[in-house]
Amino acid sequence: MRPLLIFGASKGVGLELARQERSCGRTVFALVREQSDAGGIGTAGAIVLRGDALRAADIARVFEHVREECDVVSTLGGQSADGRRADDEGNVNVIAEAERTGGVSRFVLVTSIGCGEMAPFRSDLAIAAFGAAVDAKTRAEERLRTSGMPWTIIRPGGLSSEPATGRGILSDDPEIHGFIHRQDVADLVSRALRDPATIGQALAAVDAGRMTCVRAVRPFPILA
Ligand SMILES: NC(=O)c1ccc[n+]([C@@H]2O[C@H](COP(=O)([O-])OP(=O)(O)OC[C@H]3O[C@@H](n4cnc5c(N)ncnc54)[C@H](OP(=O)(O)O)[C@@H]3O)[C@@H](O)[C@H]2O)c1
């Protein structure tokens, strides 16, 4: 199994993914900011590399450290005190360096429902609450799509941290809305990494029991 390099693994979906992959015996590297808690990711058995995704030199150092063909997942999100966003700038730094090193087998970017072609179907409430973050994530998606790497984009609905339900699905319907638990998103990302049919796809991730759509949804047929 190739090593997995995760950006955004100090908590949330990234941490859940690291736990799942480590439990399968996979080597996991994780970039964690200097001031952030690396307790969870360290306990999961990942190799913690300190650095900030908003600094391109830190990202370059991470890839130099890994030094072999790997898969990359980014769940980066959020804004620093000076207004810069990991959603676009941080992710773009990671994508650019992954492209430059040339040894990336799969790149999975976790963004959000509402990105890209889903934008026209956002509610006014969603635009007011998360519009800027979602637009920034769309810019990162666009950069990844033109990178030449084997990319997959996973766009979760509203997240919560309860245990997995096992009902997570992926869909390419731009009008789907819904919610999903972080553990279920991590499971879908893990399966997407193993399923070449997801290469070149941008897919929403929702819980089949907590979603709505204007038409019947046919889930993307991902490997179990
Ligand atoms: N919350 C929702 O309902 C929702 C819905 C849809 C999509 N999303 C998106 O889905 C993804 C996963 O969400 P989540 O709530 O599980 O995770 P999250 O809590 O948003 O975690 C984001 C990760 O990015 C890291 N990060 C942020 N800026 C960084 C930087 N400059 N350098 C290095 N690391 C940085 C954070 O590390 P630190 O510990 O250092 O902060 C954290 O590990 C995110 O992109 C999120 O925006 C969220």
**Given the structure tokens 């072609």, which residue do they identify?**
117
Q: Which residues contact 25 (CB under 8 A, 6 or more apart)?
A: 1
Give the Å distance between the CA of 84 and the centre of ligand 1.
Answer: 14
Q: Give residue 127's pLDDT.
A: 97
Could you give the CA distance from residue 81 to residue 43 in angstroms, rounded to a whole number? 29
Residue 72: per-residue pLDDT: 98
Ligand 1 — pocket residues by CB below 6 A? Answer: 8, 10-14, 31, 33, 36, 52-54, 75-78, 86, 90, 110, 112, 156, 158-159, 182
pLDDT tens digit string along 35-68? 999 999 999 999 999 999 999 999 999 999 998 9
pLDDT of residue 179: 98
Q: Are 184 and 166 in contact (CB under 8 A)?
A: yes
Gap from CA of 87 to ligand 1 centroid (Å): 8
Closest-CA residue to 70 (of 104, 109, 29, 46): 104
Which of 33, 62, 87, 179 is the pocket-test mutation for ligand 1 (most atoms within 8 Å of CB)? 33
Question: How many angstroms is it from 12 CA to the middle of ligand 1?
Answer: 7
Domains delineated in the chain: 4-212 (3.40.50.720)
- Confidence class for position 206, pLDDT limits 50, 70, 90: very high
pLDDT at 68: 92
Average pLDDT, rounded, for the chain? 97
Report the predicted TM-score, pTM, of the whole model to 2 decimal places. 0.98
Whole-number pLDDT of residue 52: 98
Q: Mean of the pLDDT values across residues 81-92?
A: 97
- The pLDDT value recorded for residue 159 is 98
